[in-house]
Structure 1
Amino acid sequence: MSSKKAEARERVKAMREEQARRDRRRERTMRFGVAGAVVAAVAIIAIAVAASRGGDGPVAVPEAAGAGNGQEVGSENQGIMIGDASAPVTIDYWMDFLCPHCKEFHDRNGEAISQMVEAGDANIVYHPVTYTGNVYSTRANNAFACAADEGKANEFIDAAFASQQQWSTSTLVDLGEQAGIGGDYESCVRDDTYEDWSSNVESQAQNYDVTGTPTTFINGQLLPRTSQTPDGITSAVEAVAAGGDVPTPSPQGTQAPEGGQTGGAAGEQPSAQPTQ
């Protein structure tokens, strides 16, 4: 009788040990499964964040991004070109929509530049940066590209400089409505379609020693600050179109406009073409 009890106890012990092994295996499986699920969830979130930021995919580039002077258009580093790409002279203009000196430059020189562009004597490439307005300028730059896609770049420029402010998405949408910019402008502004493009344009400034705004180049030659006037810009465009250099005013020459900065010494020529 005692032998049978002993055998029974051994069987119970063996069953318990087997059950314990099964429980341990099940616990390990569950633990690994939870860990795997967490890793998968983290990976999915990372992919979603990357996708929302554009990841390593192509940067959205506004249709008006161009180099002028026969250069290839559509680069993600290029500014917005207005005018005929085959014009003999390209005015590269580095500016910030919240820069007060850029507003002064626009108010003083905008009409003269528009006349040269409309006549086909020059085109102008706007390179918007964020030196003054930071995130507010970034929003304005994106909206500028959205307006350019609708053929309303000039209208946006006029409206933006006429009402400089700390831009929000809503105020930029309202600005577009007031300026008569339709089409996909609103959705483009709200989606920050060209935010990455704006960052790429600004990253190129250091390649041309642009450290302040407004800074202007005429076919790659730096326009002296003292020449940032209608007569000065017109004379520079005419001289370069004739095969010459941007004139350097004498100390007794044209009086420098108030404010404004350039990305180098007056008359200094950059080592590279800003439009490339």
Structure 2
Amino acid sequence: MPPGAGAMPPGAQPWQPGPPPPPRRGPGLLIALIGGGLVAVLVVVAAVVLLTQGKDGGSGGGSDGTSLQAGKIAGGAEAIPNPDGSLTMARPGVTSPVVDIYEDFSCPPCGNFDRSNDPMLKQVAVAGEAKVVFHPMVIFGEGREPQHGNSVRAASALRCVREGARWLSYQDALYAHQPSESTEGYATSDLLAWAAPLGLTGDDFKKCVSGQRYASDVASVSQSYISSGIQGTPSVRVNGTLLASSDVQTPDALRRAIEAAS
């Protein structure tokens, strides 16, 4: 799928690494820090989802011994980072259907998918209609540069965020600054600069990002996803079943697939 497309066309398959396309960047979601409260502004029929800060803002996390903190989403849902680097977004007690999103920050269609579907996914989580799990991964092999390095730096930096609300907002920031496939991007200095407005300014967070503390963990988790059948990104599973391309062409199609599994 070429970069810049808004959704996967009929018959398209999840993206797999190929020859680098022409450079292009797309718009991202607006992130703002308003009156000390973290706000992710999501335009879906004028819906706004408020993400509240964790106890310590998640600014000091990153080491294996640091606790993971749930972040509250307006409406009663929670965003909970998981030990494997994924994040669960759901209302307490909601266990099904489970919507697993596999994404690579260097994959242009993943950016398109996020801009198109992320607001809807937040809506279904807030409404208690599904348990959504984001799985950052690296689909590129080590010989594919600059894509491989870009993916590793972004996914490793996101794993340094230990509080759920900020995790979601940092994910949005990473997609907002997604480099083209032929451009080296996600420099550690940029990764830190984009994190600062979100309150991610602690020394341990900075060391975690600069040192790519979780690079090896990102690689091993990515390989486990690939071994489980994920061969391209974005890929979506609902209750363990990999969706066909026709089910992820638009937010409405994806929502129907989620509702059908309820």
- The TM-score bracket by the shorter chain reads 0.5 to 0.7
Equivalent residue number for residue 194 of structure 1 = 214
SS in 2 for 1:107: helix
SS in 2 for 1:167: coil
Distance 1:136 1:190, change over 3 A: same
Equivalent residue number for residue 104 of structure 1 = 112
Distance 1:150 1:128, change over 3 A: closer
Distance 1:61 1:89, change over 3 A: farther
Distance 1:60 1:222, change over 3 A: farther
Equivalent residue number for residue 139 of structure 2 = 131
Task: Give the C-alpha shift of residue 75 in structure 1.
Answer: 5.1
SS in 2 for 1:125: strand
Distance 1:150 1:218, change over 3 A: closer
4+ long deviations beyond 6 Å:
58-62
Aligned runs of 1:1-276 on 2, under 5 Å?
A: 63=68, 76=84, 79-84=86-91, 86-87=93-94, 88-132=96-140, 133-149=147-163, 151-165=165-179, 166-183=185-202, 184-228=204-248, 229-241=250-262
Contact 1:61 1:75 (8 Å CA) reproduced? no
Contact 1:150 1:181 (8 Å CA) reproduced? no
Task: Give the C-alpha shift of residue 232 in structure 1.
Answer: 1.4
Higher relative contact order (CA 8 A, sep 6+): 2
SS in 1 for 2:151: helix
Q: Deviations over 1:4-51 (max 9, x none)?
A: xxxxxxxxxxxxxxxxxxxxxxxxxxxxxxxxxxxxxxxxxxxxxxxx
TM-score, length basis structure 1: 0.57
1-side partners of 2:177 and 2:216: how far apart?
Answer: 25
SS in 2 for 1:147: coil
Contact 2:158 2:171 (8 Å CA) reproduced? yes
SS in 2 for 1:81: strand
SS in 2 for 1:120: coil
Aligned residues: 176
1-side partners of 2:67 and 2:175: how far apart?
Answer: 21
Structure with larger Rg: 1
Task: Give the C-alpha shift of residue 189 in structure 1.
Answer: 1.1
Task: Give the C-alpha shift of residue 64 in structure 1.
Answer: 6.9
Contact 2:90 2:125 (8 Å CA) reproduced? yes
Stretch of structure 1 that moved more, 179-188 or 98-107:
179-188
Unpaired segments of 5 or more residues in structure 1?
A: 1-57, 66-72, 242-276
Contact 1:94 1:127 (8 Å CA) reproduced? yes
Let me know the Cα RMSD of the aligned residues. 2.7
Higher-helix-fraction structure: 1
Task: Give the C-alpha shift of residue 59 in structure 1.
Answer: 7.0
TM-score, length basis structure 2: 0.59
Equivalent residue number for residue 45 of structure 2 = none
Task: Give the C-alpha shift of residue 61 in structure 1.
Answer: 8.9
1-side partners of 2:215 and 2:149: how far apart?
Answer: 10
